[in-house]
Structures are given as C-alpha cells and as structure tokens.
Amino acid sequence: MKLSAELAAFSARLGHEFADPSLLVRALTHGSLSSATRPDNQRLEFLGDRVLGLTIADALLAHDRHATEGQLAPRLNALVRGETCAQIAREIGLGEVMKLGRSEMMTGGRRKDALLGDAMEAVIAAVYLDAGFEAARAVILHLWGKRLDSAEAAAFNPKTALQEWAQAQGMGPPGYRVAERSGPDHAPSFRIVVRLDDGREAEASGTGTKRNIEQAAASAMLAQIGEIP
C-alpha cells in the first residue's frame, strides 16, 4: 500500500515514515466511516493513550528530578488530556486528513476536540506498532517537547485553586452557570458566570469547551480576589 500525497505530507509533518502505511490509514479512520473491511481507530486510540502516558511520565521525571508525585501528577494530566492532544493534532494538520463519514463531516468533525484528540492518540499507537516504542517516543517528544518546559504552568487549575480558596474562607464550592450559549454545535461559544457564596461574580466568554470557559471564569475571579499565583 502506498500513501497518497496528502498522507505522505502528513507523515512528514509527524516525523515518521511508515513501513506499513495501512496503520496510519486505520489511525485516521473514525467510526463514522468504519465497516467490516475498514476498521476504525478506537483500539489504536486505547493503545496510544498508554504509550503517550508512559512517555510523558518518563520525560517529566527526567525534566524535573526534584518534583514530588503531587507536583508531577497534574503536569502529566495537563500534557496528556484530550484538549492538549487536540491542540497538537491541529498543529500538524491532522484534521485535514481524518477519514470521516458524511454525518461527521457535515457537523464539523474535523474541528472537534474529541475526534482530534482520539485520532492523535491513535496515530501514536500506529507509530508504536509500525516501529516500536522508541520510534513512538521520538515522535511524542518531537511534538510535545516545548510543552514539557511549560508543564508546571499548564498544570495550574484555576477551578481547583478557586475552590480551595473558597473552602479556606468557609464558603461552599463556587457555582458556575451558562449565561449565554451561541454558535454551531461543533464550535459553540459560551458566556459563563462564576459566583461565590458572598455574592461576588466574575465571568468569561469564548469559543471552545464549556470546561475551558469555566476555567477562564475561575481565573477572572482569582484575579478579582488577588489570588493569581
């Protein structure tokens, strides 16, 4: 099997030349296009998630030899979560080469975080099966490398920090509500308000996942109360 020019270009951006190109094709095939003769990428996604986690955990240990488990765990979570995988997928143009069924194409599947993140993990597994762990590790470190330097900042969770601050003040957990929602389902925009028990409120707006906008609202509240680290 020979890769198309489009997939060959993607393989070059990925930094790996496949001995078995069918693995890459499978990694890019979403369930909406699968059939008895065209397997989807779900099993590869399962494997790629584990390869990614091990590689990043090992890299974090090497990067900061004095960090505790309590410091390393949130950094790992920040680097392997779906949103980060989706960001990297966008950087290498993965969405442009995903193989989707008509329904997913019509609803903007090439831009969905969940699909991009899953496909990124599947591609990692494809590299692993094609050439072994060291090849997969090299691809991961190539794509994630710059993020390792900022892992500590990426691990900061505004919602967790705000909740801990509120509890220290004798308040209950902050409440979040969607004040406004607009835009298409594949790229919704939210305006989210966070409220403390004492009545103080802050808000954030943006396009993306509701979770990300809640984090932005929490950051706005932390800035308001002077608790930004």
Query: Which residues contribute to the annotated binding site for Mg(2+)?
Result: 45, 118, 121
Binding residues: 45, 118, 121
Q: What span, in angstroms and rounded, lies between the C-alpha atoms of 86 and 113?
A: 5
Please list, in sequence order, all residues whose beta carbon lies within 8 angstroms of the beta carbon of residue 113, skipping any fewer than 6 positions away.
82, 83, 86, 208, 209
If you count DSSP H runs as helices and E runs as strands, how many of each does the chain have, helices first? 11, 3
CB atoms within 10 A of CB 92: 17
Please list, in sequence order, all residues whose beta carbon lies within 8 angstroms of the beta carbon of residue 98, skipping any fewer than 6 positions away.
28, 30, 109, 110, 115, 116, 119
Which 8-state DSSP code applies to residue 97? G
Query: Of these residues, 121, 130, 203, 214, which one is catalytic?
Result: 121
How far, rounded to the nearest angstrom, does the alpha carbon of residue 114 sit from its chain's CA centroid? 8
Query: Of these residues, 40, 49, 130, 203, which one is catalytic?
Result: 49
Q: What span, in angstroms and rounded, lies between the C-alpha atoms of 62 and 56?
A: 10
Are the beta carbons of 41 and 22 closer than 8 angstroms?
no
Residue with tokens 């194409």: 105
Residues pairing with 189 in the sheet: 182, 207
Q: Is 40 a catalytic residue?
A: no
Q: Is 64 a catalytic residue?
A: no
Residues with catalytic roles: 49, 121
